[in-house]
Amino acid sequence: MKVAADLGYRPNLHARTLSTGRTRIIGVVLAHLDNLFYPRFLQLLTERLQAEGMQLLLFVADGRQGNLLEQLLQYRVDGIVLAATTLHSELAKACAQAGIPVVLFNRVADTQDSGFHSVQTNQAEGARQLTRFLLDNDHRRIAYLAGSQDASTNQAREQGCRQALAEGRRRLFAYGEGDYRADRAQGVVRGWYVGDDGARRPVSDCPDAIVVADDQMALAVMDTLRHELGLQVPEQVSVVGFDDVPQAAWAAYQLTTYTQPLPEMIESVLQLLTAQLKAQSADAKRKPRGKAVVLTGQLQIRQSARQRSTTRPRR
Amino acid sequence: MKVAADLGYRPNLHARTLSTGRTRIIGVVLAHLDNLFYPRFLQLLTERLQAEGMQLLLFVADGRQGNLLEQLLQYRVDGIVLAATTLHSELAKACAQAGIPVVLFNRVADTQDSGFHSVQTNQAEGARQLTRFLLDNDHRRIAYLAGSQDASTNQAREQGCRQALAEGRRRLFAYGEGDYRADRAQGVVRGWYVGDDGARRPVSDCPDAIVVADDQMALAVMDTLRHELGLQVPEQVSVVGFDDVPQAAWAAYQLTTYTQPLPEMIESVLQLLTAQLKAQSADAKRKPRGKAVVLTGQLQIRQSARQRSTTRPRR
DNA sequence: CTGAAAGCGCTTACAG
DNA sequence: CTGAAAGCGCTTACAG
């Protein structure tokens, strides 16, 4: 042993892989690393995997999925984490078919009980709480600015928003699609507040609150409202987001949002992954139903949404 | 071939690795993915590596470097990109000793001609241009807010700042260390503008411009100046940063900064990496000198630094 | 030009 | 309990 250490011997993990069939490599597929929510996700996931002695092979989905799948399979990854919100489910299916454990992050399978494991926050409940907060604080013309229509995150958030409105016997005042992109979101907002003639619309024709499908867009929307349209946030328009990205807490924004419990989510991802790895070696044939973990986030009240009164009535 | 495809055959890359000695895996080590500059770096690098048919194995340096090095070596990565600014150079040396090509990103070896390849922006020149811009626009009390003292990026930027001041026959008005962390930077700024008694210092005792070692800290500094200390940026205090992270362009900040040419930098990283891989297979013994690629960035003038006058004198 | 064999560096079942 | 052999799935030099 001493000699081996002195000679600088390191076991070759690829050789080990050949005989054990385990690579200890997890493939992680991201769609947009430019979304402010994912850097921290990636950092935490990497740290946790490292701590477990596993490695993270990073892929960015850029449309050419075929190639990506090929790589994933050829490297015999032990498991795959799919965090690409808008990613077509073809990829997930192909991986599962190849017998590789898949965990969907912040995304749920669009086909019913497809057998995929998934981890997400209770999106609908979060959006419901945000919307109810706005209703409770006297907002009456509430708009929803959607992410991508086909993203499960957006669908749940939209549904939660609509549900809260229905409970409050209110209708949605305006609806637009931002596709989870800052520039598109800003375009939608301009359309809401500025008429075709380039003049500002009357206040009563404009939303007094905007439920934005994620923080990324919400921050961009705040910029446009304040610096381009000259509106006060939250005095004239309230904005709420979803995720609680680091930037949401910055003094310039102080965004009211719904916090996704990222560390817990990561733990769940790891649990699902390792559970599958064990089950796989135990009895490879028994295919368990996909387990959908839904975690509870938290309403994070900051300053971007107007509150009825700072001095609360004494009980 | 048809049959193979029908059966879903995929070559096992680990087996190939065993016989060829090439893994087509590049190890990437990051210190802080929470720095706003790195997500895009990682995204672009991943895309480029994927395009070349290589894979990216991601590591986050969390102090326990020994373990990290072990993993890197055991997975027989073909090359390593070290983007961890404050990372101790032990790691780089150990990798080089093990015969793995290393490219330093945004960082230069602290030991002279250590044989490492590196890619960076001309940091000193950038800081010089930023500082000169401030001088040319009538700023007289210029402070430098440093990153980590031992980071080569910071050393070069500080030197560039001091050089421009010397050229303008000015002295540095104040100096503080933010360690590339937003909260530390904010603490330094508070100390500059607020006395021990908690009262604001007289204007003439405070900087009228701050050269911040990176955008991450510069944005936090702007927040503190505006929202905590009630100062106008740029009217009362100018702030400039370095990197040109996506957030620097946000309407709330409009940060004047020095743009690092990220796509070009990535290209250089890939070139250095592939060149070494070829050289390695050609004659493994000839150890070439480290090549230090220094690219030119660009002064990005926005609104966070006061300009003398919007109407320029006609020539 | 085609095809069988050796070898890459491990693990593990098996023989002694 | 120890030690030699077979096998994981490729590549490549070599024999036919």
- Tokens in use for A202? 């009357």
Q: Read off the pLDDT of residues A152-188 as tens digits, 9 standing for 90 and up.
A: 999 999 999 999 999 999 999 999 999 999 999 999 9
Per-residue three-class SS string for B38-77:
HHHHHHHHHHHHHHCCCEEEEEECCCCHHHHHHHHHHCCC
Residues of B in contact with A29 (CB under 8 A): none
Do residues B257 and B244 touch, judged by C-beta distance below 8 A? yes
Task: List the domains of chain B with CATH numbers.
Answer: 2-121+262-296 (3.40.50.2300), 123-259+300-310 (3.40.50.2300)
Evaluate if residue B64 carries a pLDDT over 70.
no
Residue A173 sits at the chain B interface (C-beta within 8 Å)? no
Within 8 A by CB and 6+ apart from A197, the residues are: none
Q: What is the pLDDT of residue B314?
A: 54
Helices (H), ranges, A152-210: 152-167, 182-193
A219 touches chain B (CB under 8 A): yes
A37 touches A214 (CB < 8 A) = yes
Interface mutation target, options B13, B19, B65, chain A, most CBs of A under 10 Å:
B13
Least confident of A26-40, A297-311, B93-107: B93-107
Query: If you average pLDDT over residues B65-76, what whole number do you get?
Result: 84
Q: Write down the mean pLDDT value for chain B.
A: 90
pLDDT at A285: 47
Strand partners, A257: A300
B227 chain-A contacts, CB cut-off 8 A: 251-252
Spatial distance from the CA of A16 to the C1' of C14 (Å):
20
Per-residue pLDDT reduced to its tens digit, B195-253:
999 999 999 999 999 999 999 999 999 999 999 999 999 999 999 999 999 999 999 99
pLDDT score recorded for residue A311: 55
Q: Please tell me the pTM assigned to this model.
A: 0.93
Asked whether strand C has any atom less than 7 Å from the CB of A15, the reply is yes
A39 neighbourhood in chain B, CB within 8 Å: 33-34, 38-39
Tokens (6 digits) for A220: 């961009």
- pLDDT for res A87: 65
| B58/A42 Cβ within 8 A | yes
As a whole number of angstroms, the distance between CA A104 and CA A118 comes to 4
Q: Is the pLDDT of residue A315 over 90?
A: no
Which chain A residue's Cα is nearest to B47? A60
